[in-house]
Amino acid sequence: AQSVTQPDIHITVSEGASLELRCNYSYGATPYLFWYVQSPGQGLQLLLKYFSGDTLVQGIKGFEAEFKRSQSSFNLRKPSVHWSDAAEYFCAVENSWGKLQFGAGTQVVVTP
């Protein structure tokens, strides 16, 4: 069965510092992978997605993610965090039937 693991429930980062959020998946075939962000009181917004091709994917708001098949990972990164990046981040994998399986989420707190 497929699964998505986000090992970090909560991360605190200083404004201007770099951020990396981890995501590991278990899936038999080549997965479709997604990162979504949920700001307080808001719905989920797509940051980026990986279907195939270049394993380094660029997204919105300065985020990027790297697909590493050998490590079954799809980690999200941002070189310099802004206070507005405080939010909850979800990694998700899509199966062949168009259904998403979400990780439990990582809450990011940005300190001045």
Distance of CA 101 to the CA centre of its chain: 13
Residue with tokens 């951020």: 19
Q: How far is the CB of 112 from other proteins (least distance, A)?
A: 26
Compare residues 15 and 44 and give the one whose CB is closer to other proteins.
44
**Choice between 19 and 103, CB closer to other proteins:** 103
Residue 2: count other Cβ atoms within 10 Å of its Cβ.
Answer: 15
Q: State the minimum distance, in angstroms, from the CB of residue 17 to other proteins.
A: 26
DSSP character for 22? Answer: -
- Binding footprint of other proteins on the chain (CB under 8 A): 4, 9, 32, 34, 36, 42-46, 49, 51, 90, 94, 98-100, 102-105
> Got the DSSP string for 31-44?
PEEEEEEE-TT--E
Residue placing its CB nearer to other proteins in the complex, 43 or 112: 43
Closest distance to other proteins from the beta carbon of 108 (Å) = 15
Say which amino acid occupies 102.
Answer: F
